[in-house]
Amino acid sequence: MGSAMTGAKSLAPTSFGRAETVVMAMAAGGRGTLFEPVRIQKLLFLIDREIPHFVAGPHFDFRPYRYGPFDRAVYDELDLLSQTGKVDIRDGPGRRTYSLTGPGLTTGTAALRELPVEVRLYLSDLARWVLSLSFGRLLAAIYQRYPEMSVKSVALDVADRFPGRGQGLPDRPFLDGMASTFDLTGSLLEPRTAETGTRRDVEALLDDWCRVGDDLRSAMAKFATTSPDGS
């Protein structure tokens, strides 16, 4: 029992601060990804709520606002990261975007590598999910999962226009067992069916093999370009 607890505790990084969490979250979206203000806010909110134990969080104090969970400190942290050359902030006509610079991507990727592979896969799924939805569908999903975040909303009708979207949040079958080691109250655990758990396991295994295939193809291409006859 003692050794299991020791191994499980090692899964939870203790050095993650706000800056590391922000660049890690952005790196999970992939190289060159642009985050609009609403999406980086919602992604960090979900990380704080869904997997705080794995990132030494929560790191922010999200409160219900006109469009769901909001914390001004997210923007303050992004401004600081911009000053240190890790985040690029660009303003367009009625649109601001945030993206990682080269050094920011390096830092974010290094932070991701500190996490167990299951957590990295979940963060990648979560970032892609947040980026893939329209604003209305994203807000509806968050309101349905966290109704307390809708109490000051000026867009309450989104839950009616997009019913059932809260179920679209990526599940975390790999993470529940690990998280329960830290969460003695069981508050992190949510019911899930055997069917969804099996599907998620298969998807993760397929993703692992796809990554292996990509690595092999890359190695073969590199060998071909460096071989004497160019074949």
- DSSP per residue over 172-208, as a string? -HHHHHHHHHH-TT-TT-----HHHHHHHHHHHHHHH
Asked if the structure places residue 173 within a domain, the reply is no
DSSP state of 35: B
Asked if the structure places residue 212 within a domain, the reply is no
Decide which of 133 and 203 is more confident: 133
pLDDT in tens, 137-165: 898 899 989 999 999 887 766 555 655 54
Asked if the structure places residue 204 within a domain, the reply is no
Asked if the structure places residue 130 within a domain, the reply is yes
Asked if the structure places residue 193 within a domain, the reply is no
How far apart CA 168 and CA 136 sit, in angstroms, is 13
pLDDT in tens, 106-128: 999 999 998 988 899 999 999 99
Whole domain around residue 99: which residue ranges? 2-165
Asked if the structure places residue 91 within a domain, the reply is yes
63 to each of 44, 185, 219, 223, how far by Cα in Å? 13, 23, 48, 53
Closest CA to 98 of 36, 47, 19: 36
Asked if the structure places residue 199 within a domain, the reply is no
Whether the predicted pLDDT of 168 surpasses 90: no
| Strand, coil or helix: 144 | helix
pLDDT in tens, 21-55: 999 999 999 999 999 999 999 999 999 999 998 88
Q: Pairing state of beta strands 95-100 and 68-70?
A: unpaired
Whether the predicted pLDDT of 9 surpasses 50: no
How far apart CA 67 and CA 153 sit, in angstroms, is 5
| pLDDT at res. 220 | 55
| pLDDT at res. 219 | 53
Mean pLDDT of 64-86: 95
CATH number of the domain bearing residue 154? 1.10.10.10
Asked if the structure places residue 210 within a domain, the reply is no
pTM: 0.69
For the chain, the domain total comes to 1
Mean pLDDT of 96-105: 96
